[in-house]
């Protein structure tokens, strides 16, 4: 089968190649998936640039974690999926998973049946990003009915952010999202109640206190005016020096940096929301496998709206 491989640590154009390697064989609790689309995430390009020094996430020269595709074989112990099922998932994360390939062996527990209302690009693009939002809101206690809660998403237009906006909205929250002004109409279409330009200090300072903050922005810190006693603040990127102390002094709780993990059960709930018409995935751009270098460079631009996806025939 064809697969993407990194020849070493470096720039995408220098170290990315397409290779022919042996087909994977699923273990007892795994299924073999013929891959149709793979979401490309910042972690894919950061780990390529950093190599095995990249914290707790396992480095492999064979990259990729997101996938959507069709089950073509099942391990003996798999009862939840059958050959022919359309599935999507975040495979093995934070262990290596090698999903940027024509075939991938994935633990059945990491997969769910894909929402039929989404195109395969959306199915493949969603898992890591939507599970990050899902797990962050769990950490913040924003689960179940969140009617009456105010939620601030820093970085509302990115892969994680645009899904976080919709998940919070689907739970009934009042959602405020930061993004550059050109992206405000898109965020309003996704359900954001208020949009704030992150370059406009006065607008940031005018955000009234919220119950939950999710920061998806590198070194993102919410404006202190948005914090009151008990505001749960979660980051997926880390806080800059001194920010935690200032936020705690303003009353913030939590202040954790969470890390997403594979979670097929949560993806089944995501699929139900999608097929109920309450969650969509914006595809910034889909690239064929042969253009995986350009796809990585698009992610590295930091300017995407929604998800960058790699498609396979
Ligand atoms: N801890 C975890 O488990 C976990 C999981 C997923 C992702 N992450 C990390 O979280 C970060 C975001 O991931 P992602 O996939 O959402 O990235 P992404 O899709 O590449 O995010 C790009 C978006 O960020 C927006 N943006 C940039 N600077 C901003 C700012 N100061 N304020 C508001 N928006 C801003 C950009 O909007 P403009 O073009 O308008 O600037 C763009 O729409 C990455 O660092 C990633 O590695 C961590």
**Tens digits of residue pLDDT in 81-136:** 999 999 999 999 999 999 999 999 999 999 999 999 999 999 999 999 999 999 99
If one counts every other C-beta atom within 10 angstroms of the C-beta of residue 197, the result is: 16
Quick one: pLDDT at residue 203?
98
Quick one: pLDDT at residue 53?
79
Could you say which residues of the chain have pLDDT below 70? none
- What the block records as the tokens of 250 is 């303003």
- Which of the listed residues 157, 220, 259 should we mutate to test ligand 1's pocket, taking the one with most ligand atoms within 8 A of CB? 157
Q: Sort 196 into a burial class: Cβ within 10 Å, 0-12 / 13-18 / 19+.
A: buried
d(CA 85, CA 113): 7
CB 312 near ligand 1, within 6 Å: no
Quick one: pLDDT at residue 54?
84
Question: Which string of b and e fits 217-227 if b means at least 16 CB within 10 Å?
Answer: beebbbbbebb
Quick one: pLDDT at residue 55?
81
Domain at 2-126+281-311, CATH class: alpha beta
Quick one: pLDDT at residue 221?
97
Quick one: pLDDT at residue 168?
98
> Could you read off the pLDDT of 247-263 as tens digits, one per residue?
999 999 999 999 999 99
Distance 145 CA to ligand 1 centre (A): 26
Please name the fold of domain 130-257. Rossmann fold (3.40.50)
Domain boundaries, the chain: 2-126+281-311, 130-257
User: Mapping DSSP to helix (H, G, I), strand (E, B) and coil, where does residue 294 land?
Assistant: helix
Average pLDDT, the chain: 97
CB 159 near ligand 1, within 6 Å: yes
CB 33 near ligand 1, within 6 Å: no
């Amino acid at each position: 089968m064809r697969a993407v491989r990194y020849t070493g640590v470096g720039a995408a154009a220098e170290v990315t190649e397409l290779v022919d390697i042996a087909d994977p064989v699923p273990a007892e609790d795994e299924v073999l998936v013929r891959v149709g689309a793979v979401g490309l995430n910042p972690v894919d390009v950061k780990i390529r640039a950093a190599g095995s020094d990249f914290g707790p996430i396992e480095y492999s020269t064979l990259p990729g974690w997101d996938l959507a595709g069709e089950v073509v074989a099942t391990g003996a112990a798999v009862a939840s999926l059958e050959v022919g099922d359309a599935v999507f998932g975040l495979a093995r994360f934070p262990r290596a998973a090698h999903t940027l390939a024509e075939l991938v062996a994935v633990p059945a527990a990491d997969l769910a049946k894909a929402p039929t209302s989404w195109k395969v690009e959306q199915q493949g693009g969603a898992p890591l990003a939507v599970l990050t939002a899902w797990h962050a809101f769990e950490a913040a206690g924003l689960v179940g009915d969140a009617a009456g809660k105010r939620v601030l998403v820093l970085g509302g237009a990115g892969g994680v952010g645009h899904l976080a906006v919709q998940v919070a909205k689907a739970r009934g929250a009042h959602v405020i999202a930061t993004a550059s002004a050109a992206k405000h109409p898109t965020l309003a279409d996704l359900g954001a109640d208020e949009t704030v330009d992150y370059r406009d200090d006065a607008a940031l300072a005018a955000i009234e206190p919220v119950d939950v903050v999710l920061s998806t922005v590198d070194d993102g810190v919410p404006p202190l005016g948005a914090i009151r006693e008990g505001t749960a603040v979660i980051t997926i990127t880390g806080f800059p020096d001194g920010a935690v102390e200032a936020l705690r002094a303003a009353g913030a709780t939590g202040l954790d940096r969470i890390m997403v993990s594979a979670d097929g059960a949560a993806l089944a709930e995501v699929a139900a929301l999608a097929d109920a018409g309450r969650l969509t995935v914006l595809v910034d751009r889909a690239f064929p496998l042969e253009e995986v270098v350009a796809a990585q460079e698009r992610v590295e631009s930091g300017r995407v709206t929604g998800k960058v996806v790699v498609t396979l025939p």
